[in-house]
Amino acid sequence: MRPWRGALRQGGIRPRLARKQTDGMMRLYHSATSPYVRKVMVLLHETGLLDRVELVSGSGSPLDPGAAPLGANPLGKVPALERPDGPALYDSRVICRYLDDMAQAGLYGTGPALWDILTIEATADGILDAALLMVYEARLRPEPLRFAPWVEGQWAKIDRALDALETRWIAELNGPLDAGQIALACALGYLDFRHGARGWRTGRGQLAAWFKGFATRPSMLATQPA
């Protein structure tokens, strides 16, 4: 694989390229409030790999990369994982698959179960994407330019996804631990963290009960956003 040779610049400064880890340790660029990072952190706790990872703070926004790990991820997003056996990995789904493979934890299943798990994971990430766009609209866009119907359109996506999880996926959620459950728990936790007033639990008793139980796992308690 060719190494990344991009010349992305911010303020005239070329970002440091991610260096290959040679000591067997991995380096995870993270933000304590990122739900995408939380997915990776929960998986690290569940697989026993946490002591093989050095945590490095790094975050920014679409308007200001700040301390984002541009050398590890040219998109300027966390999580990004520097690993000893190749270029840095980014996107939480890629990193989770890599760590699951490393641990041989089987959190993605095999056969038909794999596709169910990937669909739940994709649904959870879609919820997060919409929820984060709602946050950005309020935090980054000047008030006179904010567009309330667009915000409500993002919540409508979340609403439909939650209804599908309540009616279609509860049996899978109540099965053995898998990556889809981890992703969804982190997504629901983020809704509580940033959009608690929306009351996502209303009319979704089964999903709410599932999350109440899952949220007591030590991996979830150890990774709560502050």
Q: What local confidence, expressed as pLDDT, does residue 23 receive?
A: 60
- Please, which pLDDT band fits residue 12 given cuts at 50, 70 and 90? very low
Q: What local confidence, expressed as pLDDT, does residue 50 receive?
A: 98
Phi-psi region of 3 (alpha: psi -120 to 50; beta: other; left: phi over 0): beta
Phi, psi of 29 (to 5 degrees): -80, 130
Q: Which class does domain 112-221 fall in?
A: mainly alpha
90 pLDDT above the threshold of 70: yes
Percent of the chain with pLDDT over 70: 90
Instruction: Give the largest Cα separation in the chain, rounded.
Output: 53
| Range(s) within the chain of domains with CATH label 1.20.1050.10 | 112-221
Q: Which two tokens stand for residue 127?
A: 């919820």
Alpha helices in 141-226 (DSSP H): 148-168, 170-173, 179-195, 205-214, 218-221
* CA 10 to chain CA mean position, Å: 25
Distance of CA 143 to CAs 21, 61, 115, 136, 147, Å?
44, 18, 42, 12, 9
Mean pLDDT throughout 126-145?
94
Render pLDDT for 56-85 as a digit per residue (tens, 0 to 9): 998 777 777 777 788 898 998 999 999 999
CATH number of 26-103: 3.40.30.10
Higher pLDDT, 226 or 54: 54
Per the prediction, the chain carries an average pLDDT of 90
Pick from 51-60, 87-96, 151-160: least confident: 51-60
Distance of CA 195 to CAs 48, 128, 217, Å?
31, 11, 22
Cβ 154 vs Cβ 133: under 8 Å:
yes
Q: Which string of DSSP letters, residue by residue, matches 88-117? A: EEESHHHHHHHHHHHHT--TT-STHHHHHH
Q: Which two tokens stand for residue 42?
A: 């929960």
Mean pLDDT throughout 216-220?
98
| Range(s) within the chain of domains with CATH label 3.40.30.10 | 26-103
Q: What local confidence, expressed as pLDDT, does residue 10 receive?
A: 33
5 pLDDT above the threshold of 80: no
Mean pLDDT throughout 21-29?
80
